[in-house]
Amino acid sequence: MDLNKKFTPETWPDHPEKATLEAKNKFVGFWLFLGGETILFATLFATYLALKNKGPSGFKFSTQELFELPLVFVMTLLLLTSSLTSVYAMYHLKNYNFKKMQLWLAITAFLGLGFLALEVYEFVHYIHLGFTYDNSAFSSAFYTLVGTHGFHVAIGLVWITLLIFRNSKRGLNLYNAPKYYTFSLYWHFIDVVWVFIFTVVYLMGVIG
């Protein structure tokens, strides 16, 4: 099959993300990769829970006094909304509406960028309080868990930016449709991880 073939909305397949063997492979392979990523984050969560609030003698930081839910709430809103906008993008992908898809993906990227900016602000704020990376086991585990998630967000932003630009002249075809689709899977995954971070790190930190 010619992967660069031009389509119309009528001839565009129902499932462009798995219309070719390469696409099917990418689809299954990426789901499996996310399975591995789940284990990766599970390990980081376990490490965090084991080291939560632990520090040298006279350690003064704890989750209760450190975290502020309003900021984290705004971050959560931004990221959850970006997941929704990526769903809109996938809706337009399936309807072969390239421009609208690109637009929604750009909105997704901006929301993600907002999230990342707030996370950087949050980290800088903690560091000003003296809660530095090498300050205690708790701080190391916290920054590593939340930072790994933030790093995933940053990778996702670079990824989608590259995709938007590389395809701006090409338009939609069966070669790049799976690329968009795997990005959206990745973005949802990051979102799910954040839901767990929000619950386990922040909510359980402040309330528990």
Partner 1 sequence: MSSVAQKRGFGATLWDWLTTVDHKKIGILYLLGGGFFFVVGGIEAMIIRVQLLTPNNDLVSAGIFNQIITMHGTTMIFLAAMPILIGFMNAIMPLQIGARDVAFPFLNSLGFWMFFFGGVFLNISWFFGQVPDAGWTSYASLAMASEGHGVDFYAIGLQIAGGGTLLGGINFLVTIINMRAPGMTYMRMPLFTWTTFVASAMILFAFPPLTVGLFLLTFERMFGANFFDPTMGGNTIIWEHIFWIFGHPEVYILILPAFGIFSEIFSIFSRKRLFGYSAMVFATVLIGFLGFMVWAHHMFTVGLGPTANAIFSVATMAIAIPTGVKIFNWLLTIWGGSIKVTTPMLWALAFIPTFVMGGVTGVMLGTAPLDYQLHDTYFVVAHFHYVIVGGTVFGIIAGTHLYWPKMFGTMLNEALGKVTFWFFFIGFHLTFLIQHWLGFWGMPRRVFTYMDGQGWNSANVISSVGALFMAIGITIMVYNIIVTSIKNVRVANDPWGDGRTLEWAIESPPVFYNFAQTPLVRGLDTVYIEKMEGNLSGITPAEPVQDIHMPNGSFIPFMLSLGLFIAGFGAMFRTEEPWGMAVLIIGLVWTFAAMAMRSLKDDLGFYVKKEDILKDMKRKGGQK
Distance CA 52, CA 3 (A): 51
DSSP state of 9: T
Q: Which segment (66-74, 102-110, 135-143, 187-195) binds partner 1 by CB under 8 A?
A: 135-143
What distance, in Å, lies between the first and last C-alpha atoms of the chain? 57
Q: Which is nearer to partner 1, 54 or 77 (CB)?
A: 54
Residue in 141, 161, 159, 149 with CA at minimum distance from that of residue 191: 149
Looking at 108, 140, 182, 184, which residue binds partner 1 (CB under 8 A)? Answer: 140
Task: Report yes or no: 200 and 45 within 8 Å, Cβ to Cβ.
Answer: yes
Site string for partner 1, 33-72 (x = CB under 8 A): x-xxx-xx--xx-xx--xx--xxx--x-------------
What values do phi and psi take at 94, rounded to 5?
Answer: -70, -25
Q: How far is the CB of 78 from partner 1 (least distance, A)?
A: 26
Residues making contact with partner 1 (CB under 8 A): 3-4, 21, 24-25, 28-29, 32-33, 35-37, 39-40, 43-44, 46-47, 50-51, 54-56, 59, 133-141, 144, 162-163, 166, 170, 175
